[in-house]
Amino acid sequence: MSLHLTRLWWWLLGLAVGAVLAAVAFAIGLELGLKRGDALAQPEIATLLEERQSVLAELAELHEEVAKLRHEASVMERSRQIERETNKALQAQLKDAQDERLALIKEGTYLRRLVREGGQGAVSVHDLVLSPQDDPRSVRYSFVVTQLIPDFGATTGQVSLQIMGLQEGKETRLGLKQLPQAEPAELPMHFDQLQSFQGQLTLPEGFEPRLLTVTVDPEGERLTGASESFPWVLEGP
C-alpha cells in the first residue's frame, strides 16, 4: 500500500470515529436533556395537581353550601306555609267567637225583654245538621229546641220547616206539607227543658235549596214564638 493510500485510509477512519463519537455525544446529550426536561416539568405538574385538588375542594364546598341554602329555603317556605295556615285558622276561630258573642248578646237582650214583660217563656233553635242520603235529593235533618227560661214548665206547640231556594230560576218556598215524602209530616213540640227533632225529606227534581227556616209556634200566650234561619249546608252522611 502506498503512503498516499495509507494516509487516506487513516483520514477516513478518523472521520468515522469522529462521527460515531459525535452521535454518541448527541444521544447522551439528548437523554440528559430529556431527563432534565422531565425534572423541570415535575414541579409544574405537581402544582397543577395541587390546583386541581383545590378547585375540586372548592366545588365540594359550593355543593354543600347550595344544598344547605336549598334546605334552609325549604324550611323557610314550610314555616311561611304553617304561619299562613295558623293565621287562617285563628281568623276562623276569631270569627266563630265573634258570631257566638253576638248571638249571646242577642239572646241576652231578648231574655231581658221577656223578664221586663214578665212571665213569658222563650225558646232557642240550634244545632241544625243536614246529612245527605243515598238519593241525592233526599236529606236527613236534626236540630234542638231549648227553653231559655229556667223552671218555665211545659213548653208545647208546633215546629214547622220551610225551605227556600230556586225552582227553574224562580224563588220558591217549600214546607213539609208540600213535600209528600217528608217523614214525619208534622213536628209537635212538648218538653220542659229541650227537645231534639229528627226527620227526612226529599226535594223536588230541579229544586236548588238555599236556606232552611225553623219556626216555633207555641200554644198559649205564655210562650214567645221563635224563628231561626240556617244556610243549606250538607255536613256529611
Domain at 174, CATH number: 2.60.40
| Residue 56 and residue 15 in one domain | yes
**Can you tell me the distance from the alpha carbon of 118 to that of 139, in angstroms, rounded to the nearest whole number?**
40
| Residue 35 and residue 46 in one domain | yes
Q: Residue 93: its pLDDT value, please? A: 80
Q: Residue 33: its pLDDT value, please? A: 52
- Residues 6 or more apart from 2 whose CB is under 8 A from it? none
Please report whether residue 236 resides in a domain: no
Classify the phi-psi angles of 112: left when phi > 0, otherwise alpha if psi is within -120 to 50, otherwise beta: alpha
| Residue 53 and residue 137 in one domain | no
Please report whether residue 48 resides in a domain: yes
Closest CA to 120 of 156, 80, 149, 157: 149
| Residue 76 and residue 133 in one domain | no
Q: Which pLDDT tens digits describe the chain residue by residue (237 residues)?
A: 455 545 544 554 454 445 444 444 444 454 555 455 555 456 666 676 677 677 677 777 777 877 787 788 788 888 888 888 887 887 888 787 777 777 666 666 665 555 555 556 678 898 999 999 988 889 999 999 988 877 777 888 999 999 999 998 899 999 998 898 899 989 999 988 899 999 999 999 999 999 999 999 888 777 777 888 999 999 865
Grid cell of 56 as nine digits: 375540586
Q: How many DSSP H helices and E strands does the chain contain?
A: 1, 9
| Residue 80 and residue 33 in one domain | yes
Chain centroid to CA 35:
72
Place of cell 225551605: 163
Grid cell of 15 as nine digits: 472521520
Which long-range CB contacts under 8 A does 36-44 form with residues at least 24 apart?
none
Q: Residue 196: its pLDDT value, please? A: 95
**Can you tell me the distance from the alpha carbon of 73 to that of 150, in angstroms, rounded to the nearest whole number?**
60
Q: Residue 17: its pLDDT value, please? A: 46
Domain boundary pick from 118, 146, 173: 118
* Torsion angle in degrees (nearest 10) through CA of 218, 219, 222, 227: 10
| Residue 78 and residue 33 in one domain | yes
**Can you tell me the distance from the alpha carbon of 85 to that of 95, in angstroms, rounded to the nearest whole number?**
15
pTM (2 decimals)? 0.53
Q: Residue 26: its pLDDT value, please? A: 47
Chain centroid to CA 225:
44
Query: Which range marks the domain in which residue 130 is found?
Result: 121-231
What are the residues facing 164 on neighbouring strands?
A: 173, 211
Closest CA to 134 of 227, 237, 47: 237
**Can you tell me the distance from the alpha carbon of 13 to that of 15, in angstroms, rounded to the nearest whole number?**
5
